[in-house]
Amino acid sequence: MRIAFAKIQDTAKNVVLTAVQYPVNIGYLAAVCLEAEHQVEMWDFCVESFTTEYISQKINKFDPEIIGISCVTPAIYFGHQLATIAKQGKRDIFIIVGGVHVSALPLETLREFPNFDIGVIKEGEETILEILSELEMKNYPLGIKGTVYRENGGIKLAPARPEMPDVNSLPFPNRDLVPQSLYKNKHSVRGISRKIWNVLEVDSSRGCPYSCTFCGVEVTHGRGVRFRTPENVLKEIEICREKYDTNFIVFNDSTFTLKKERVAELVSALPGMGIEGYHVNAHINSIDNEILNLLAKTGCKKLAFGIESGSDKTLKNIRKSFTREKAITVFESARKSGIPTVEGYFILGADIYETVDDFKQTESLIKIIRPDILGLGIITPYPGTEQYDEMKKLGFLNNVKYDQLQIFSDTPPNWRVVNFNADELVQKRNSILKSYIWSPRYVLNRIMKIRSFGELIYYMKMAKSFFYIVVKYNKYKNEN
């Protein structure tokens, strides 16, 4: 059968500070379908035009029988727009929706968006093949485990799949169906520019062992972590190196540093393969001096931590499982290790009951640990998280549309937390960002770490985006 997999843009597409990655998730789906001898295309509307004319041209040229649409929550309206365009031009086309939104709100998604024929819940590599098998036999796919579907004018939820896909038996994600050149002007993660590095993203595991109240990773990957073997991961990297001349790997794992021996086996092999740099995410509790020194020695150019808050009360409430002092100790060690860029990410309102004092503790922690890159967002209550349920119960999400749920935006959020309204949250975020990023100490530190003219241009563009989102907003507020 002919199936097109589409990744959908969201409303933050043109915010320079946001990252754009090759769609590894639909790359996996494409790979299993190609292996089953289906005809496959991949469309990534984060880097391709999203107009009716362009979409119609793609549909008319490939003439897909099925379109599989991957949507995060802020992209769900655009996903349905694609489905609507497809059905208007070819009414018998079958539309599958997958991703975190339908996984979190399966029944609601099919009720609200009539042009989605079926929804795939959680990971879809096995589910998609069963759907295609039924469609090949001219059957409507009813009751397939891990789906939400339409039957006799109603919407039904099939039983969940008893097990998630075996991550070591899956084919490597397809990276040929969307041109790599389309990503050249985007950064894969903050601080890693494709103008400087030949970047590819790799998922060396799926899932996360932690249960932060604001995070929805469990919605799509279930509880716990499934690790690919080092041999399996290194084989994928070897292919990427030979085929695409890759010299930088962004490991997408929620927490890369969970198993010390596995980490050592993976990263120790990278320099000998021609990988000159890599990025990883870590949890404060999953790292020690031995791992830090190994990462630095083997080419880790960027290490990122989700800290979220400087308040021990907040950290406990959101289940981060570490303390403020532990974060300080780890950042001191990370700085001493020689890893060039250490990022710290924080969320104002991570606990929706935070107070002025909690925010002050976050600001003071930022100045103590001095992250090379500071990510500071406002709580975004995604469906499937405890924060979403609590804020909805309190009435804070009344009249909030899905496409307004952006982690970092150039407009204020359409929600509040208990002690702060939207404008107060934005003003506090912007005040902290300005006081830290525009300090002489921070500016000098970043200048001293710039290694090339290309990197200078990259950070200048980031600074420009920062100005328009943070400084210009404050100026507008002061003038009105």
Question: Rounded to an integer, what distance in angstroms lies between the CA atom of residue 275 and that of residue 355?
Answer: 45
Which of 157, 173, 198 is at the close of a domain?
157
Rounded Cα distance, 191 and 343, in Å: 9
Residue with tokens 């499934």, as numbered in its chain: 226
| In-domain check, residue 462 | yes
Query: For residue 180, which of 159, 197, 198, 192 has the smallest C-alpha distance?
Result: 198
The answer on 191 and 127 residing in a single domain is no
Q: How many Å apart are CA 230 and CA 67, to the nearest integer?
A: 34
Give the burial string for 370-379 (b: 16+ CB within 10 Å, else e).
bbbbbbbbbb
Mean pLDDT of 185-191: 85
Domain-located, residue 173: no
- Tell me the C-alpha distance between 371 and 343, whole Å: 5
Across-strand partners of 154? Answer: 151
- Residue ending a domain, choose from 111, 142, 157: 157
Residue 413: predicted pLDDT = 93
pLDDT band at 257 (very low <50, low <70, confident <90, very high): very high
Same domain, 428 and 290: yes
Q: Is residue 163 part of a domain?
A: no
- If you average pLDDT over residues 135-157, what whole number do you get? 96
Domain termination residue (choose one: 136, 157, 178): 157
Say whether both 148 and 290 belong to one domain: no
Q: Closest by alpha carbon to 450, among 336, 300, 341, 339? A: 341
In a domain, 368, yes or no: yes
* Residue 174 within a domain: no
> Do 375 and 457 belong together in one domain?
yes
CATH label of the domain that carries residue 356: 3.80.30.20
Nearest to 56 by CA among 112, 110, 10, 4: 4
Under 8 Å between Cβ of 95 and 115: yes
What pLDDT was estimated at residue 449? 74
Q: Are residues 300 and 417 in the same domain?
A: yes
Residues 317 and 448 grouped into a single domain:
yes
Give the domain range for residue 366.
186-479
255 within some domain: yes
Question: Are residues 194 and 144 part of one domain?
Answer: no
In this structure, what CATH number is given to the domain that contains residue 72? 3.40.50.280
Condensed to tens digits (0 to 9), the pLDDT of residues 79-122 reads 999 999 999 987 799 999 999 999 999 999 999 999 999 999 99
Mean pLDDT for the chain overall = 92
Whether 419 maps to a domain, the answer reads yes
Instruction: Quote the pTM value.
Output: 0.93
Confirm whether 165 is domain-assigned: no
Asked whether residue 133 falls in the same domain as residue 269, the answer is: no
pLDDT of residue 480: 47
pLDDT of residue 478: 47
Residue 447 — pLDDT band, cuts 50, 70, 90? confident
The model's pLDDT over 360-411, given as tens digits with 9 standing for 90+, comes to: 999 999 999 999 999 999 999 999 999 999 999 999 999 999 999 987 776 7
Quick one: 127 and 250 in the same domain? no
> 68 with 216, same domain?
no
Q: Are residues 220 and 141 in the same domain?
A: no
Report the domain count for the chain: 2
Confidence of residue 476 (pLDDT cuts 50, 70, 90): very low
Residue 230 and residue 83 share a domain: no
